[in-house]
Amino acid sequence: MSTVYLSLGSNLGDRAQNIARAIQALGARGVRVTRQSSLYETEPVDVRGCGWFLNGVVEAETEMRPGQLMQTLLIIERSLGRQRRRAEADGPKESRTIDMDILLFGSQVIDDPELKIPHPRMAERKFVLVPFAEVAGGAQHPVLRKTIAELLAATPDQAEVRRWANHQSGQTSGLKT
């Protein structure tokens, strides 16, 4: 069993429901979520002309290998209406019903054209680091050798990240602390 950390985000439709459905789909596909962050409303980063995102991070356990897990995430994204475009890897991103990324997979380091773990830009993204620090601030980045809390404290990212008020008042079945 491997411990993995996944980021989830949505900026289309019922954002909280999209994230909740993605988490349910993880469980149905053999990925057991053990901890969940609060939801955070975040400024769009590298995404053209769109509304704010809801983002969160989950800690989970899986028996899958990293490539299998990535394929599972892509299947879940497609089932929830996400259409990935090849150009997204290099250029501006599009709005999406759901976006799921592997942040860490145990202490593994993978640098393949199709899969990079740890996520290559996570240390630069406050919208990932804030919920990640809530769930596992002491988790260590296997390449940078710093904890998630240390990465958050050092990030130059000034984008706004705020706890989502509707989530705090229990108005969604999304992520829970």
Residues carrying an active site annotation: 82, 96, 99, 101
- Rounded Cα–Cα distance for residues 109 and 119 (Å): 9
In sequence order, the 6+-apart residues with CB closer than 8 A to the CB of 56 are 7, 8, 9, 19, 36, 37, 38, 39, 40, 131, 174, 175
3-state SS, the chain, equals: CEEEEEEEEECCCCHHHHHHHHHHHHHHCCCEEEEECCCEEECCCCECCCCCEEEEEEEEEECCCHHHHHHHHHHHHHHCCCCCCHHHHCCCECCCCCEEEEEEECCCCEECCCCEECCCCHHHCHHHHHHHHHHHCCCECCCCCCEHHHHHHHCCCCCCEEECHHHHCCCCCCCCC
